[in-house]
Structure 1
C-alpha cells in the first residue's frame, strides 16, 4: 500500500501519536505508523465494547502493561497497541520478535460476565475472531492450530503468522494478539514462520486489519456472552472446529515430565480441550494448559 503524502498523513495522525512515532514516521515508507486518531474514531463509539485505545511507539509487552494496569482497576474494552515490542511473549513465555511496524501487536482487557468455568474459551474465541477477520479483509485463508496459533499458506506450506495469549488479570482477562503482516523472508524469526504479505494478502494496511480484527472480536465476544458463555449455543465450538487445521491429523501432545500422548485429533469438547483418539482406542482429552508442545506425530 502506498502511504498518503507526508503532509496529509501528519494532519491525520497528529492527535494520539507519540513524539518518537512522529520523529521516526518516514524511516520506512513501506511501513507507516498506525493512525491512532482514525482508529479511535472508528472503534470508540457509543455502545461499543471498546472504551479506550492507545498506540505506543514501543514497549516490552502490551500484555504485561495491561495486566499491570488491570491490577489497579481497568475499564473493560481497553485496547493497547504497540508499534514494536522488545519482550513480547507467547504461550509458556516463548518469545515473539518482529521489526517495528511490521505487524500487529495488541492486547485487550475483557471482564466476562459468564461462568468462570467457560473463560477457557476466550483464547479460542480470539483465534476464531482473528481468523475470520483476516480471511474476509486480507483475502488470506487463515487456519487455527490448537490451541493458540494462526496459520497461513506460503509456497504451499502452512506457516505460523500469528498467536494468541490469554492471561488472568484483575477481575478479567488480558488477551494478546500478535500478527506478522509485512515481514519478508529474510525477516522471519524461524523458517516455519510466515506473514500475510508472503501469503499474498490483498491488503497489508495495518489500520484496516486492526479495525477488522477488533470488530470481529467484539462480534464473537458479544455472541458468546449473550449465550452465557455456552460454546455450542454461541456457535463458537462449531466455528473453531471448522477452521481448525489440527483436527483430523495425528499429533503428538508433549506434556511436562517428558511424557507424551499420540493420537488422532478428532474433536473439541465442551471445555475447549482437544480430544485425541489413541491407538489403543482411548479418547483422551488434552487441555491447553497441560501441553508443552503439540506437533505432527511424524
Structure 2
C-alpha cells in the first residue's frame, strides 16, 4: 500500500482529532470507522446496517476503489485526494432523549438533499468556492461537478429500516486525475481557500448533523425545519432551461420553476404545462 507520506500535500486524516470532534457534535454521530482503503464506503455502511449497527456510524476512506454512483456509475478516489464518507441513519426510529419523533418513510427522499445542503454550505463557507447544487444532489462549480451524493435504503436492517448517505468530494485532485467521461473539478482546481481535509470533514459532519437534528425534530417536514428554503437558496437548477432523462427513458425539456415540498423538480415544459419530477438525470442547457 502507498505510504501516507509520499504526497506531502495530501496528509492523512487524523483519526484521534476526528473522533474527538464526533463526541462534541449535536448530531447523531456515535462511531468513526476510518479506513486506509476500501471498495465503497456506502457498501461498508450498508453491511454494518444489515448487521444491526445503530444510527450514527461514520465510515471514511482515504482511498476508494469501487465507489457507487447514481445509475450504476462508479466513483473512485486517489489516496487522500478527496473526502469519501458514508453515514448510517435510522430516521424511522424515535429518539425520546433528543425529542426526535420517527420520520415517515415518505420523507426519506429528503436525506440526500439534506446532505447536499450541508455539503454546499461547507464548500462555500470554509473552502470559499462559488458552489451550487444541481438537482438532486451534485455539487457544481460552474458547469463542473465537484462532488456527488448517493443515498441507499436498507430495509428491515437490525429491526428497523436504515438509510446510508454517501458523499464523495474532490478536494485536491489534479486535472489528470479527474474522470475523463464527465466534466469535473476539485476544490483545489476551483481556487479554494481551504483544502485541508480534516477541518473540511469536521465542518461537513457538523453541518450534516445539525440539519439532520432539525429535520428529525420536525418529523421529517422539510418546510418546517427550513431545509426546503435552504435547498432552494443553494439550487443552481432553479431558473435554468434543462433536459431531464426520466427513469423510463423518456426525455423532458423545459424551465425549472422551483423545488416542491417533496423535494421534486418542477418543470415548466415547452408546451406550457408543469410537471413534477421525482427522479431523473438533469442536463443544464446553456
Give distance in 2, aligned partners of 1:214 and 1:46: 8
Give distance in 2, aligned partners of 1:121 and 1:294: 18
Contact 1:98 1:189 in 2 (8 A): no
Q: Where do 1:1-80 residues align within 5 Å?
A: 24-45=3-24, 48-80=27-59
Do residues 294 (structure 1) and 282 (structure 2) align?
Answer: yes
TM-score with structure 2 setting the length: 0.91
Q: 1:82 to 1:261 in 2, by over 3 A?
A: same
Determine which structure has the larger strand proportion and give its number: 2
- How far the C-alpha of 1:161 sits from its partner, in A, is 0.4
Give per-residue Cα distances to partners, 1:156-195, cap 9 Å, x unaligned: xx21000110001222100000000001112211361000
Do residues 95 (structure 1) and 74 (structure 2) align?
Answer: yes
Do residues 176 (structure 1) and 176 (structure 2) align?
Answer: no
Aligned to 2:133: 144
Do residues 214 (structure 1) and 198 (structure 2) align?
Answer: no
Give distance in 2, aligned partners of 1:82 and 1:263: 39
Q: 1:47 to 1:261 in 2, by over 3 A?
A: closer
TM-score with structure 1 setting the length: 0.87
CA RMSD after TM alignment: 1.5
* SS of residue paired to 2:86: strand
- How far the C-alpha of 1:136 sits from its partner, in A, is 1.1
Higher radius of gyration, 1 or 2: 1
Aligned to 1:3: none
- How far the C-alpha of 1:84 sits from its partner, in A, is 0.6
Aligned to 1:162: 147
- How far the C-alpha of 1:258 sits from its partner, in A, is 3.4
Aligned to 2:86: 107
Q: 1:47 to 1:178 in 2, by over 3 A?
A: closer
- How far the C-alpha of 1:48 sits from its partner, in A, is 4.5
Give distance in 2, aligned partners of 1:151 and 1:61: 22
Do residues 83 (structure 1) and 62 (structure 2) align?
Answer: yes
Relative contact order: is structure 1 or structure 2 higher (C-alpha 8 Å, sep ≥ 6)? 2
- How far the C-alpha of 1:257 sits from its partner, in A, is 4.4
Give per-residue Cα distances to partners, 1:208-260, cap 9 Å, x unaligned: 10000000001111111111111111111111111111110111111244311
- How far the C-alpha of 1:26 sits from its partner, in A, is 1.1
Task: Tell me how many residue pairs correspond in the alignment.
Answer: 270
Q: 1:147 to 1:48 in 2, by over 3 A?
A: closer
Contact 2:26 2:209 in 1 (8 A): no
Do residues 187 (structure 1) and 177 (structure 2) align?
Answer: yes
- How far the C-alpha of 1:25 sits from its partner, in A, is 2.0
Give distance in 1, aligned partners of 2:282 and 2:11: 36
Misfit runs of 4+, over 4 Å: none
